[in-house]
Each structure stands twice: as C-alpha cells, then as structure tokens.
A and B are shown apart, each in its own frame.
Chain A
Amino acid sequence: MSSQIIPGPGGTGPGAASPHAPSAANSIRMVRLLGTVSLMCGLLIVVTNLATKDRIQSNQETITRESVAELLPGISKQVTYGVEPSGELKVLTGATGEGKKFFAGYDGSGKLVGVVIEAGERGYADVISALYSYSPATQTIIGFKVVDMRETPGLGDRIKSDIPFLANFKNLDAKVENGKEVHNITTVKHGTKKNAWEIDAISGATISSRAVGRMLHKSVEDVTPVILKNLDRIERGN
C-alpha cells in the first residue's frame, strides 16, 4: 500500500481533511489518530485474552479428558505424564500444554486399564492430530480417535467415522523390541489386510489412511518404549 492515498475525483470519504496532498500538520494528525486507534485496539485484545484465557484452557482440558475416557471405557481416574527430552517421565497437573505426553487411565480399583497417546502426522490437507489407546499388557493398540483434521469432506474425513476402518484399531499389534517395532504398522490396500499389524485402508481415502498408519508407527516407536520401561511406576500412578 502506498504511504499516501490520493483521494479520487469527487471522493466523499469521512473526515474534514483537505482534498490536496497532506501537509505536515495533517501527517501528525494521521499518525496520532492511527496510534491512538492501534493502542485502544491492542488494549481491548489484551483484556479479552486475559478474560478468556482460563475458560479456553479448561475447555481444551475437558475435551482431552472426555476423549481419553471415551478411548478407555470404564476408567475412573486419569494421570497425565509428560515425556522429557531425556526420556524421563514427569506427572503433569493439566491435560493441555506443549510437549510429548500421554494419559494413563485406571479403573475403580486403581488398576491400570491402558494409556492414551497423542499423535500427529501430515495428511492430505494439513496435520491430522489424533489420540490412540494402547494396552501395555498386550502391547496392542485398542482404540483410535481423530481430534483435529482438515481432510477432504466425504472422502478423507471418513478416517474419523468409518466403522470398518475404526475396527482396525480394536486389536492392532504394536509389539516393540529394543525401541523398534517387531512388525511395522502399515496401511494396506482396502480388502488386503492379513496380519494383526496391518491397517485396512478406506477405499477412496488412501492418503489419509496411510497418514494414520505412519502416525501410529512413528508414535509407537517413539513413546511406547518409555511406557514399557516405566511400567511399574505408571501402574502405581505416581
């Protein structure tokens, strides 16, 4: 945008400025007005941010907690663990925030039911973020839920709701040895799933289905060794 807007012929804009090029006094007036407007707008934004911050955080927290409870039916207690870059575990107070983390779910008697792990991977359009539940006892994935995505409506977005596709994640082999999967989780063409570590793709949504496979493979190799190493501690819930 040019620094100086020449008014068009017969222009009838607001204000009482002269139709000629701005004079020095005029320039000061413009700077003063724009400065004041920006300052006031900035203040308004800061006030709104402060007023809504807690509410937004608790909203995000509720959504995450509900998703975890949905993926691990029957749990009555949740503990959030953060994974430090060194591989150490840390109990977190909130369910939101940056960094790698997972949620352990316990039933009424305090027994570990499973853990829910956050994962993300580039799909057909933007990153697909998801949660999946993992059972350390059997080393399998037992549930999967898309949290956020921009996949094509009617095609790729079926990874969220397609019942046969979601059935892939009822008992998906995710065995890990020495930090590597014994059988890599892979997405196979629709109708050709033979093994417990394969995901049957949705026909017409191959790219999104493959992204889910890659996401789970990466995340399983990344997070589950830490869980298995610290399983005693997670079972105690501290």
Chain B
Amino acid sequence: MLRDKQPVTITADTHPFLNGLWKQNPVFVMVLGMCPTLAITNSVKNAISMGLATTFVMVASYGMISAIRKLIPKQVRIATFIAIIACGVTVVDFLVKAISIPVYQALGAYIPLIVSNCLTLERAEAYAGKQPVVKSMLDGLGMGLGFALALTCLGMVREVLGAGTFLGFPVFGSRFEPWVLFLLPPGGFISLAMWLLFFAWRKERAAKLAAAEATQ
C-alpha cells in the first residue's frame, strides 16, 4: 500500500500536533489511508470510532518505535514497525470489543486493517523512526485526530444525504427521500472528491489573494 511519495518535510516552525491535524492533513492534503476513508465513512459514528481507534494505535506505537529507534537496524526497520503497529491494533481490537460490541460489529474487518493503512506506516518511517518520543507521540496524535476529522467530514456528508440522519438522529422531515447512493461505495468517492475540490479551491483562492497583495 505504500506508494513512492516525496518524503514529507517537517519545517522547524510547524508544531508536530498542528501539522497533522491541519497543515498536512493525512486525508485532505497527503491523501493517505484511502481504504478506511472510503470504506468506513457511511455514518458519523463509524467514522469517529475508526478515527479514534487509528489515533490510539498511532500514539501508542509511535511512542514505542521512537523509544527504540536507535536500536533498530536499518534493514529490519519496516518489519519492526509493522510488528509494533500490529500489536497496537490487536490491543485496540480487544479494547473496542470490551467497550462496545455494536461499535465493534460496525467497524468489523476494518480494525485489523489499520495495520495496512499506509498512513500508520508512513508516519512511522517519516517521523517516529527519527524523532524523540514526545514529538513522535504528538505527531501521532495530530495525524490521528486529523484523520478522524477528515473521516468525520466525509461521514457527515454521507450520513446526512444518504440516510437523512446525523449520529442516528433524523435531520430532515419524514418526506425526505434518502440518497442511498451516498451510503454505497460510489458515494464515498463522490464525497471525497467534493471535499478535495473544496480544499483545492480554498488553497487556490489563498494563493491568488497572496499574489494580489504582493503586486499592490
């Protein structure tokens, strides 16, 4: 799942937490972790649960990875990262089951798939494997919450349009005919495209404004 991406450069003036949350949002900016983004966002509740589960895995495993980063031989670093992330995922799997069975049933196969979410491995390789423990955990927290935020944005559009509800509560009158399409896989792609379009438009507008200011 890992693609050849330009390594993400972390400038000294970006706080590791805010960086992931907004500036390099994993979904809207880096476009990583598309599998859960498209698959699990058909309701707000699922999106939030998945985002929080991923955040927990990232914070816990990046702490561990960063703590032993100087001991890991370069040749086996990916294997070590995967072993630690997989361990975190298994722990989350047990915890979600212990907290709520309905949430576990909704997330189903996607919890084990956090391991193969390219976002988790990408941040381990690009950040946690090189940076001190606290910074790495902050990066995991920021990236995880940024991921959760993006998933919730998608889930909101899909649940409101596809089921006419928000977090299970009806938002339209009984005469609203839900657009089932938004709950189905194509709806995931359409919502993601709309959000990416929105962010691209904002970025372009900001650049234009900056250019206009510079010429004045």
Which residues of A come within 8 Å of B, CB atoms? 1, 4-5, 7, 11-17, 19, 22, 26, 29-30, 33-34, 37-38, 41-42, 44-45, 48-49, 52, 55-56, 59-60, 63, 148, 150, 152-155
Which residues of B come within 8 Å of A, CB atoms? 42, 68-80, 83-84, 86-87, 90-91, 94-95, 97-98, 100-102, 105, 108, 125, 129-130, 162-163, 178, 180, 183-184
B77 touches A13 (CB 8 A): yes
Chain A residues near B95 (CB-CB < 8 A) = 48, 52
Known: A13-B77, A14-B129, A15-B72. A153 touches B108 (CB 8 A): no
B74 touches A41 (CB 8 A): no
A48 touches B178 (CB 8 A): no
Q: How far is the CA of A7 from the CA of B105 in the complex (A)?
A: 41
Q: How far is the CA of A56 from the CA of B86 in the complex (A)?
A: 21
Known: A48-B90, A56-B98. A15 touches B74 (CB 8 A): yes
Interface centre among B77, B84, B95, B130 (most CB of A within 10 A): B77
Of A16, A38, A60, the residue contacting B83 (CB under 8 A) is A38
Known: A11-B74, A45-B90, A153-B180. A59 touches B100 (CB 8 A): yes
Q: How far is the CA of A186 from the CA of B79 in the complex (A)?
A: 53
What residue in chain A is nearest B7 (Cβ atoms)?
A12
Chain B residues near A49 (CB-CB < 8 A) = 94
Known: A56-B97, A63-B101. A15 touches B84 (CB 8 A): no
Q: How far is the CA of A66 from the CA of B206 in the complex (A)?
A: 54
Chain B residues near A13 (CB-CB < 8 A) = 74, 77, 125, 129
Quote the shortest CB–CB distance from A49 to chain B (angstroms).
6
Q: How far is the CA of A1 from the CA of B178 in the complex (A)?
A: 46
Of A37, A63, A153, the residue contacting B84 (CB under 8 A) is A37
B73 touches A17 (CB 8 A): yes
What residue in chain B is nearest A147 (Cβ atoms)?
B105
Chain A residues near B83 (CB-CB < 8 A) = 34, 37-38, 41
A41 touches B69 (CB 8 A): no
A15 touches B73 (CB 8 A): yes
Q: How far is the CA of A60 from the CA of B101 in the complex (A)?
A: 7
A34 touches B80 (CB 8 A): yes
Known: A30-B73, A44-B87, A153-B42. A56 touches B180 (CB 8 A): no
Quote the shortest CB–CB distance from B93 to chain A (angstroms).
9
Known: A48-B90, A52-B97, A60-B101. A34 touches B76 (CB 8 A): yes
Of A5, A11, A14, A26, the residue contacting B72 (CB under 8 A) is A14
Chain A residues near B125 (CB-CB < 8 A) = 13
What residue in chain B is nearest A41 (Cβ atoms)?
B87
Q: How far is the CA of A4 from the CA of B80 in the complex (A)?
A: 14
Q: How far is the CA of A4 from the CA of B75 in the complex (A)?
A: 7
Chain A residues near B102 (CB-CB < 8 A) = 63
Question: Which 4 pairs show the lowest CB-CB distances between chains A and B?
Answer: A41-B87, A154-B180, A153-B183, A52-B98
Residue pairs across A and B with Cβ atoms less than 8 A apart, 21 shown, are A5-B76, A12-B130, A13-B77, A13-B125, A14-B72, A14-B130, A15-B71, A17-B75, A19-B74, A26-B73, A30-B75, A33-B76, A34-B83, A37-B84, A41-B83, A44-B91, A48-B90, A52-B95, A150-B108, A153-B183, A154-B184
